[in-house]
Structure 1
Amino acid sequence: GSTGSVVPLFEKQLARGGPLTVTDPNITRYFMTPHEAVELVLQASAMGVVDREAAGGIFVLDMGEPVRIVELAEQMIRLAGKRPHEDIEIEFTGLRPGEKLHEELFHDTEATQPTSNAALRLAAPRTADRAALAQSIDQLTAAARDTNDGECRAALQRLVPEYVADRAPDIIAAK
Structure 2
Amino acid sequence: MNPTNVMGATKRVAELLLQEAQEAYPGTAYMAVRFGNVLGSRGSVVPKFEQQIAAGGPLTVTDPEMRRYFMLIPEAVSLVLQAGALGTGGELFVLDMGDPVRIVDLAEMIIRLHGLRPGVDIPIVFSGLRPGEKLFEELFYDPQSVSRTSHDKIFFTRFGGLQGAKLSQAVEEALGGDDPGVREMLGRWVPTFRGTEKA
In structure 2, the partner of 1:45 is 84
In structure 2, the partner of 1:118 is 152
What is the TM-score of this pair, normalised by structure 1? 0.73
| Alignment partner of 1:64 out of 81, 88, 98 | 98
| Alignment partner of 2:112 out of 35, 58, 78 | 78
Instruction: State percent identity of aligned pairs.
Output: 50
Superposed, which structure 2 residues align to 1:4-15 within 5 Å?
Answer: 4-15=43-54
**Equivalent residues of 1:21, 1:92 under 8 A apart:** yes
What is the TM-score of this pair, normalised by structure 2? 0.65
Structure number with larger C-alpha Rg: 1
CA-to-aligned-CA distance 1:60-113 (integer Å, 9 cap, x gap) = 210001110000011111111111111110011112222221112122477211
CA shift at 1:158, angstroms?
Answer: 5.0
In structure 2, the partner of 1:29 is 68
CA-to-aligned-CA distance 1:40-78 (integer Å, 9 cap, x gap) = 121012212xxx4xx342212100011100000111111
Query: What are structure 1's unaligned runs of at least 5 residues?
Result: 170-175
Q: Secondary structure at the match of 1:58?
A: strand
In structure 1, the partner of 2:165 is 133
Query: What are structure 2's unaligned runs of at least 5 residues?
Result: 1-39
CA-to-aligned-CA distance 1:125-156 (integer Å, 9 cap, x gap) = 32655xx334x8878988998x7959x73x65
RCO comparison, higher one (Cα < 8 Å, 6+): 2
In structure 2, the partner of 1:166 is 195
Deviates more, 1:57-66 or 1:94-103: 94-103
**Which letter does structure 2 place at the counterpart of 1:3?**
R
Q: Secondary structure at the match of 2:70?
A: coil
